[in-house]
Amino acid sequence: MAKLTPMMQQYMKIKEQHKDSILFFRLGDFYEMFFDDALVASKELEITLTARECGLKEKAPMCGIPYHSSDNYISKLVEKGFKIAICEQVQDPSTAKGIVKRDVVRIITPGTITDMQALDEKSNNYLCCVYMDNEGLGISYVDITTGELYTTEARGNKEKLKRTLIDELAKITPNEIIVNNLLFEETVFVKSLKSKFDVMINKYHEWVFDRKTASNRIKKQLDVITLEGYGISNNEFSISSTGALIEYLNETQKIALKHLNNINSYSIEKYMVLDINTRRNLEITETLRGKSKKGSLLWLLDKTSTAMGARLLKKWLEEPLLDINKINERLNSVEYLVDNQYILDEIKELFKNVYDIERLVSRIVYGSCNARDLISLRNSIGVLPKLKKILIETDSEDLMKIGKNIDELKEVYDLIVKSIIEEPPVTIKEGGIIKKEYNKELKELKEATVKGKEWLTDLQADERKRTGIKSLKVGFNKVFGYYIEVTKSNIENVPDNYVRKQTLANSERYITPELKEMESRILGSEEKSMDLEYKLFVQIRDYIRKEIKRIQNCAKIISKIDALCSLSQVSYKNNYIKPEINNDGILDIKNGRHPVVEKTLDEELFVPNDTLLDNNNNRLSIITGPNMAGKSTYMRQVAIISLMAQIGCFVPAESATVGLVDRIFTRVGASDDLSQGQSTFMVEMSEVANILNNSTKDSLLILDEIGRGTSTYDGLSIAWAVVEYISNKTKLGAKTLFATHYHELTELEGKLDGVKNYNILVKEKGDDIIFLRKISRGGADKSYGIEVARLAGVPNPVIDRSKEILESLEKRETEKKEIAMTKDTIIKEKEENYDKKEIKKEKSDFQLSFIDKNKEEIIDELKSLDMMETTPLDAINILYSLTKKVKDH
């Protein structure tokens, strides 16, 4: 260290404190990186690697970027998972004795990036902090670009807490997660989280999660003496995660984040639960293929006018409501705007002038805003008086209530109007941003500058007349100041009092004592003017900073109205209807449509379908029919209509009664866990187990082809048992759409309460089939697999051979003993030597009957079962064992 140059010693001392970050070391107009940081940065940013003398035998590897264009480079590194420590000169070089003092002023991570160019304006950039121990879970997350901070907690066993965490992270989609040590030590689980969510996860100091310390830190941030008013005073896990989150922000941002002035505490139970698979399968915010917003439900519903409104609408989609009153509040507002299109148009016209107020606020807090940002703020809050008037004058009680709560922010608006010029420059230290009338001293300085420049104009005219040089001109540059320029062809006419200052190729530049004196006056007043303008700008910014909370409240109102307008516009244009919401568990949809598929069809008309599910006679619909017929689209459509209703949106149907759904589960296709090395069938069974263990009678289950990942009898057995379990009201009784190719399951209607058969209608035309896309009562009579293969383009020789094989298999199948189910017996035996007296009737549970030489062993095992004590997983394992015995013998 002693051998290093003084500057490099300073660098190494600062780097020692930030070993986990790439240090951007400010040298003049550049950020420089040295040693290992330079090697990494030059490679990742594809910039030139050079070297610099450092006092050692070998030069230090070095690379650098201009500070004024650093945001783009920083964003690239952060996107690749690096942390960046910004080290600035914190001392005026002109006053420094020796090395200029430097210090790290901010650490940038994926969850704390504030560069607007690097962020999606319609999505939040969340930093999440998780605390988990053996008793509970605390989750807190913040978007420092908007000032939103949320927290929740849960209690239960470890597995339940892990599942809850996965579900919440699927909703939050954070860009960075910090966790306590106990959770970080769950290495397999943490690794799976990183993989599922493609997110940086780091362990944070254990001491910051201490509840007392965390509580005090939260109170200090909110400037309060109690947390009672925030609903978390008794939430020990939320306190730990929130306190640690605030400490992390203090450590990385190194400024007072005044816009983090509220905590939104919520209960997980107050929102519909959508697990990670459901969010993907329903394509709520992005499509399964291509991960694109286009083609998702959000893409369809987002007609917002502001970035703030778009973010809020996305949050509504991610958190469907369970409170009927709140749902109806939104629905009533949407209904009013649908019925009064002129008001909707007025509001949307107003919002054309609204910028991203939430993110403007964060720039004000960080001190990075410029005069143009203040003009954007002025234009945005300028719509408040008219918006308030529009809402108050409506006949909607809910919209009137919102209107009455609008703060017009008149003082802030008037201040910006009075002080900032209409089209200011981007820079704030070079003047030209403050109106001269705003400040008396500034006006005098501006006038002095103007008079000086008028004198220069007069000087040019006078000198041309005096010397006879018509091309003579008075000019200025930053190096030589003001000068008189004469072309070389006119040099003989130059007066004696001109002093040569600079020679150019075609001209000479001169000064005079009078010109230098006026230059001093002009530049002096300009410099003073620029300094004063900057000082006044800072004062204006600081005043606005004190009104941050009021501005944020107005931003929330604009966001809410914008989101409601978006839902109203989509509902009106697409002919959606207002659903009736109930607590009775009845889902009755007439002529329902899939909203996204309907919009993406080119010329083909979407075929609507009815749906009836309830808690009694229509709990479970078994849907049969060929592939490509539309089963999956239909089932997803039902789930999406329920979701849309519970965010307060009209729905694509002729009429809809929607019973509140606490969870939507979907089991459709293989998930990403295939990449974890799990088989398709293992993935399927894990998802089935999760659904059966976590759903309730108020859940909506969308199950597609359960059991297809294994042998026919294994799969049929599992599918059968799952249907039995779900349909049994004492075990589950959830509303379910169950698509299957196992036609044997259609036998369950009439034998299991609440089970109904449906099929997708198909019309045969010679060897071809036409999919009618219509749901009809009853089971399908055949699967049409070969016909679908032909439609898919399978070569004719393969199709012909398939028919031959099918005919042979069907003939053989008729010779086999069948799987049967009866109401009165568990086993039906036709062999004469079987003692029928040993068979006891089962009145409520019906089991599969297998006929083979090992029947007695199977019967004994079935007799010993206590169905009331058998879990879904146990049932699956037992059925697997039984079917294996049948096949082995």
Q: What is the mean pLDDT of residues 419-438?
A: 96
Whether the Cβ atoms of residue 131 and residue 240 lie closer than 8 Å to each other: yes
Q: Mark whether 127 and 243 lie in a shared domain.
A: yes
Assess if residue 288 is contained within a domain. no
- Give me the chain's average pLDDT, please: 89
Q: Mark whether 597 and 453 lie in a shared domain.
A: no
Band the pLDDT of 604: cuts 50, 70, 90: confident
Range of the domain at 851: 836-888
Q: Mark whether 609 and 481 lie in a shared domain.
A: no
Amino acid making up residue 52: R
Assess if residue 313 is contained within a domain. no
Closest CA to 785 of 815, 743, 756: 743
- Which class for 744: exposed (0-12), middle (13-18), buried (19 or more C-beta within 10 A)? middle
Q: Where are the alpha helices (DSSP H) in 601-698?
A: 631-646, 680-694
Q: Mark whether 128 and 22 lie in a shared domain.
A: no
- State pLDDT tens for residues 71-96: 999 999 999 999 999 999 998 887 88
Q: How many structural domains does the chain have? A: 6
Q: Mark whether 96 and 213 lie in a shared domain.
A: no
Assess if residue 721 is contained within a domain. no
- State pLDDT tens for residues 840-867: 333 334 444 433 445 666 666 665 665 5
Q: How far apart are CA 836 and CA 793, in angstroms?
A: 53
Q: What is the CATH number of the domain that holds 66?
A: 3.40.1170.10
Q: How far apart are CA 862 and CA 856, in angstroms?
A: 10
Q: Mark whether 805 and 776 lie in a shared domain.
A: no
Q: What is the CATH number of the domain that holds 599?
A: 3.40.50.300
Assess if residue 543 is contained within a domain. no
Picking from 108, 124, 157, the residue at the C-terminal end of a domain is 108
- State pLDDT tens for residues 5-48: 999 999 999 999 999 999 999 999 999 999 999 999 999 999 99
Q: What is the CATH number of the domain that holds 460?
A: 1.10.1420.10
What percent of the chain has pLDDT above 70? 86
Instruction: Name the token pair of 74.
Output: 């920083």
CA torsion, ordered 636, 666, 155, 110, to nearest 10 deg: -80
Q: Mark whether 612 and 515 lie in a shared domain.
A: no
Q: Mark whether 742 and 676 lie in a shared domain.
A: yes
Instruction: Name the token pair of 162.
Output: 């892990």
Q: Mark whether 517 and 498 lie in a shared domain.
A: yes
Assess if residue 247 is contained within a domain. yes
Structure confidence at residue 867 (pLDDT): 56
Picking from 108, 135, 169, the residue at the C-terminal end of a domain is 108
Band the pLDDT of 3: cuts 50, 70, 90: confident
- State pLDDT tens for residues 706-744: 887 777 788 889 999 999 999 999 999 999 999 998 888
Instruction: Name the token pair of 83.
Output: 């942390």
Structure confidence at residue 864 (pLDDT): 63
Q: What is the CATH number of the domain that holds 125?
A: 3.30.420.110
State whether residue 56 is helix, strand or coil: coil
Assess if residue 539 is contained within a domain. no
Tell me which of 654-663, 770-779, 824-833 is least confident. Answer: 824-833
* Residue 490 predicted with pLDDT over 80: yes
Assess if residue 400 is contained within a domain. no
Assess if residue 352 is contained within a domain. no
Structure confidence at residue 594 (pLDDT): 97
Q: What is the mean pLDDT of residues 260-270?
A: 96
Amino acid making up residue 7: M
Structure pTM? Answer: 0.85
Q: Mark whether 769 and 802 lie in a shared domain.
A: no
Q: Mark whether 805 and 777 lie in a shared domain.
A: no
Q: Mark whether 66 and 138 lie in a shared domain.
A: no
Q: Which residue has the tokens 């420059």?
A: 425
Tell me the DSSP string of 792-850. Answer: TT--HHHHHHHHHHHHHHHHHHHHSPPPB--SS-S-----TTS-GGG----SS----B-
